[in-house]
Homo-oligomer: A and B are copies of this chain.
Amino acid sequence: MDTAETVLASRGVRPTPQRVVITEYLLNTKSHPTADQVLEAVANALPVQLSRATVYNTLHTLVEAGVIQEVYTEPGGCARYDANTERHHHFVDTKNGCIYDIPFEAVPSLDKSLDDNYKVSNYTVTFFGEPKQGQPKQES
């Protein structure tokens, strides 16, 4: 359970109070929050006013530093932020919008499936539906 300060320091990102609270929040949720959800969640953990620009600056800095990933799970939807930086897929609960991580190995690799005609450098898979019994409920 690495502290946010440790993570930031190890990636060469200066641990300002704003960055620390945002990073702490992201490291401790599986909910794939939006920028607005991050802002709302951490704003009152700081003695100063937290601006939207700082939230976006920080999120971009964290992506750049490899601390988080930016993911898009819904067609036409806004960016969500994910401290799980391993290659993985997503399942979107169509009833309530909850997002579940799907381990990369749970899905057959498609890396070679277009080999005849395309050089695939990356691909994304997003599943939609409903979880069956026994999936750990996720907030949001």
Q: A56: CB under 8 A from chain B?
A: no
Please tell me which one of the listed residues B70, B79, B113, B131 contacts residue A108 in the complex, with CB atoms under 8 A apart. Answer: B113
Q: Is the CB of B125 within 8 A of A129?
A: no
Chain B residue with Cβ nearest A122: B128
Q: How many residues of A contact B (CB 8 A)?
A: 35
Given contacts A125-B123, A128-B123, contact A135 B118 (CB under 8 A): yes
A-side binding surface: helix, strand, loop or mixed? strand
Given contacts A108-B110, A108-B113, A113-B107, contact A129 B124 (CB under 8 A): no
Instruction: Report A's interface with B, CB cutoff 8 A.
Output: 70-72, 75-76, 79, 91, 94, 100, 102, 106-108, 110, 113-114, 116-132, 134-135
